[in-house]
Chains A and B, each alone.
Chain A
Amino acid sequence: MANTEASLKEAMTSIEGTLGVALVDYTSGMALGTLGGGKEFNLEVAAAGNTDVVRAKLRTMEHLGIKDEIEDILITLGAQYHLIRLLKTRGSNGLFLYLVLDSGRANLAMARHQLRKIEAELEV
């Protein structure tokens, strides 16, 4: 029954090494909620840009004829992990959670597990 702000807060506090989190609509590229980030990391720009990542992957799967769904997408940088988790929504809106992690502090397996839990609580 969590609202979006509470869910983002939970992601921020319960997932070790989280630098920022955003809930994004991937058709419009709009961030419906963001937390963290800051001057040097504009989460809204990241949200809009990462919709292209999701779309490209979905299109590629379509071309390959893969009938499956993306659970999450992991991008590893030198100092950060970027984790994209597609939400299974009851409505027809495509949403994803976007998580920026400090790779020195984060535990990836744990982060994925927590994100799954937050997704279940968000109930969208």
Chain B
Amino acid sequence: MSPAATAPSGIPGHPALSPMLQRLAAERATGALMRDRGTLYLAEGQVVHAESPATPGIDILLTTGGTLRSEGWWDAVAQAGAGQRVGRYLVDSGRVPGGALELCHLGALYDAAFFALAPTHTPARFRYGVSHWIGPVRPVPVDAVQRETLRRRELLDRIWPDALTDSAPLVRAAHPLDAPVPPRQRRVLDLVDGARTATDIARELGRSAFHILVDLRRLAAAGMVATVRPAAAGPASAPGRIELPEVTADPDVALLRRLRDALEAL
């Protein structure tokens, strides 16, 4: 490791997402960092796994994608769960190719880390010595996880700067534009029903939650979906009511500011 590992300075130009995580990386800690929206598992200061209630777990990603049948997954958990080597067992028993497991695991790890590292007011806890039953797959440096998480936040805000899309139930727009929707986004759009949230859709499709957030923000930017606003939830759906576009009812100040800034910069 570079000398920076002993004197954590965070990522230059960015505030550290979690000073505690930075410190744990520096002391090469092993255990589980529990935050408000997810848990990061560390081994010798590197991130080895992550879980969040907002994201589908690696089991869902593997089984829904058709890589693995769910009996195969449960068998692996039964055989190797106690020894905390489920990942290794899946590969060694020929159920999942090594490359597929790695990619799926990395996908799940970064996906859950994105939510686990979301801003929160609840203090984090760290339990030393705890490890995850999936076992070693491919450890990732803490800096890489923090960098990627920040990049993802910026990516989402560039697409459509309304974070409510990520967590609120969604509805399809009443008068969508007649534009073609790519197949991947179409499958997401088909599940938007006024009740499901991004997390529900991710579970259903067996895709990473962040992918769904990206698709939903793109659909929102294209005017195809909107969030169910708590105040409008009741009367807005009553028949006979004329539905006005959301923007006039509730101007998105951040977006308007951005527009103004962009126009001024021309």
Contacts and interface: CB of A to CB of B under 8 A. Distances in A.
Contacts of A65: 180
Nearest to B65: A91
Interface of B: 61-62, 64-67, 97-100, 102-104, 106-107, 110, 148, 151-152, 155, 180-182, 184, 205-208, 210-211, 214-215
Contacts of A59: 182
Contacts of B99: 1-4, 7, 122-124
A90 B66 contact: yes
10 pairs of A and B residues whose beta carbons are closest in the complex: A91-B65, A123-B97, A3-B98, A27-B211, A62-B180, A122-B99, A124-B100, A3-B99, A124-B99, A4-B102
Interface string A104-124: 000000000000000000111
Interface of A: 1-4, 7, 23, 25, 27-30, 32, 48, 58-59, 62-63, 65, 90-95, 122-124
Dominant secondary structure of chain B at its interface with chain A: helix
Contact of B67 (A1, A3, A90): A90
19 contacts: A3-B98, A27-B184, A27-B214, A27-B215, A28-B155, A32-B106, A32-B107, A48-B155, A63-B180, A65-B180, A91-B66, A91-B67, A91-B104, A92-B184, A92-B206, A93-B65, A93-B211, A124-B97, A124-B103
Nearest to A63: B180
Contacts, number: 78
A12 to B, nearest CB: 16
B44 to A, nearest CB: 19
Given A2-B99, A91-B104, A58 B65 contact: no
Given A23-B103, A29-B155, A30-B151, 17 more contacts: A2-B98, A2-B99, A3-B102, A4-B99, A7-B99, A27-B210, A27-B214, A32-B107, A65-B180, A90-B66, A90-B100, A91-B61, A93-B103, A95-B103, A122-B99, A123-B99, A124-B100
Contacts of B207: 92-93
A35 to B, nearest CB: 14
Contacts of B206: 91-92
A29 B214 CA distance: 11
A122 B100 CA distance: 8
B104 to A, nearest CB: 7
Contacts of A3: 98-99, 102
Given A59-B182, A92-B206, A1 B98 contact: yes
A39 to B, nearest CB: 15
Contacts of B152: 28, 30
